[in-house]
Amino acid sequence: MGCPTSSEDGLPANDLSADNSFVITKYSSDPDRAWDVLRSFFDVAAPNSAASQSGFFPALISEFDEQAEWWKNHWYFVAPDHRNRYTAEKGEEEVDRAAHNIPEDAAAFTMEEEDYRRIRAFLDSDAGTAAVDFTPDGIAEIIDEEISVMLGKGSSEEECAKAVQSRVSIWLSENK
């Protein structure tokens, strides 16, 4: 996911990306603890967790579904500076902005059932293409080979990066 796709009418469609990736290798000195840390990123209930604070779609479908239920019952307000965000429970036709300390010029958003279905269908579709799919095979092979050497303890991270840089530069000059 994350690369531009085209909609049915040929225009650019939504762009969805994963900004973080996490790896736990077999060389981890404490894999159980590493998994605990990784799980904490996806725990929306944990205060100040990345999942609860990001403002983006969670990585786990179960968390997306849970958050969607919450959003269906709340208003979301964004101030013009895009820094300040506010929420208020639905229930009243018009939210009393003063009572919730929400500026009058803050834009209001809400998620309806149709919004949820549309977003969920998009996330479940194969509309996205992994960025690695756009990497030429020759470059992907170089990266795979050099990372394999590094993971096999045949080189350091720095040596791996230099080798990839050097080999990719040569490949690019030969394959213009």
Q: Is residue 55 pLDDT above 60, yes or no?
A: no
Task: Check whether 115 has a pLDDT greater than 70.
Answer: yes
Would you say residue 111 lies in a domain? no
Chain-centroid distance of CA 80 in Å reads 24
Instruction: Report pLDDT for 59.
Output: 63
Instruction: Compute the average pLDDT of residues 41-57.
Output: 56
pLDDT at 49: 54
* 80 in any annotated domain: no
What pLDDT, on the 0 to 100 scale, is given for residue 17? Answer: 54
Count of domains for the chain: 1
Provide the whole-model pTM: 0.42
AA identity, residue 123:
L
Residue 141 maps to a domain? yes
Residue 36 or residue 167, greater confidence: 167
Q: Is the separation of the CB atoms in 89 and 76 below 8 Å?
A: no
Q: Tell me what pLDDT residue 112 has.
A: 81
Strand pairing partners for 86? 77
Instruction: Answer yes or no: is 159 within a domain.
Output: yes
Name residues whose C-beta falls within 8 Å of residue 107's C-beta, 6 or more positions apart in sequence: 77, 78, 80
| 161: in domain | yes
More confident site: 149 or 11: 149
Residue ranges in the chain assigned as alpha helix (H):
31-40, 50-53, 61-71, 113-124, 137-151, 157-174
Q: Give mean pLDDT, residues 123-144.
A: 73
**With pLDDT > 90 as the criterion, what percentage of the chain qualifies?**
10
Residue 175 belongs to what domain range?
A: 135-176
12 falls within a domain:
no
Better pLDDT: 35 or 127? 35
Contact between 128 and 16 (Cβ < 8 Å) = yes
Identify whether 45 is part of a domain. Answer: no
pLDDT band at 12 (very low <50, low <70, confident <90, very high): very low
Question: Do the domain assignments include residue 77?
Answer: no
Q: Is the pLDDT of residue 16 over 70?
A: no
How confident is residue 174, by pLDDT bands cut at 50, 70 and 90? very high
